[in-house]
Amino acid sequence: MKIDRLIGITMYLLNRGVVTSKELAERFEVSVRTIVRDMEALSLAGIPVASSAGASGGYEILDTFKLNKQITTLDDYLFIITAMKGMYSAYENKKINAALEKLLAVGHYTDEEQRVFIDLGVAKEGVNISKYVREIENAIRDKVIIDFNYNDASGRQHARSVEPLALQYRWYGWYLLAFCTYKNDYRFFKLNRVSNLSVTGVPINQNHGNIPELLERIWSSDNRRIFKIKLLCKAEVRIPVMEYLKGQIIEECENNDFIMEMQAPENERMWFSLIMGFGGAVKVLEPQEIIDMLNEKTKEICELYNNQ
């Protein structure tokens, strides 16, 4: 509905400052001409929309404008509270709980109305994960350097001294974005590979700019090799294979077996272990490199137990 879009545009402009008509059109999935008409409608409604030309131009709402009316709905509150409860299940921070209490006090709803529940408790699994998250968060807030030992994907351990910038839960694990003083570059570190972490108290002197933009840039430049793997899977493991390997079925066989394709990053062991764990119920068809890796690992296991 148009009124919903106008409210959305108002919120978007209030949160971001100057925004181009093209960006607004893409964000709200309408034409640029529709955005121009929407700006006229907002102006007629008394919202002080200003426009500017040039490379850095666009639309903005003047600082004198304030939203005084309650425009959030019950569904809006439910979405926010569901997200915050999910966040708290992964990240135990007293401030989140305090914010939840405030929302519950003004939202005029009861827990009985919630129907979607998100539990990210797996994020707290692993030795020292919750402790390290709290310590790193404090170091980021205080802008001080931290030291730790780090085990890379090959199992080698390195001492690292870094300037912590952000924490992110992604791909079923916590990651630290930091400026590594040894590499003299930005790096991601998986917290479950960190040990002996200590907060040094040494101040961070350089400015690292916009952290959300930096996060996006580093992830988008991830140059890890990605394997495209084709698997022949038996019918009886269809559910667990789809649940854990998260691939796409490309062919159904007459006996209800199926062929699936999946993608997996090099030097990450979880997917390899899962394929091994399915035993004879899952067979790698390609690439040959993965088949060779499985043969080698199987040989190692057989030698280990045959020598007992």
Domains and CATH numbers, the chain: 2-61 (1.10.10.10), 74-122 (no CATH), 129-219 (2.30.30), 226-306 (3.30.70)
| Residue 75 CB contacts under 8 Å (≥ 6 apart), including other chains | none
* pLDDT computed for residue 17 by the predictor: 78
DSSP code at position 233 = E
The model's pTM is: 0.59
* pLDDT computed for residue 79 by the predictor: 72
CA contacts within 13 A on the Cβ side of 151: 9
Contact 290, 284 (CB under 8 A): yes
- Mean pLDDT by groups of 10 residues along the chain of 308 residues: 77 84 89 90 86 82 68 68 72 70 61 64 70 92 95 85 91 87 91 93 92 86 84 94 90 94 83 92 95 93 83
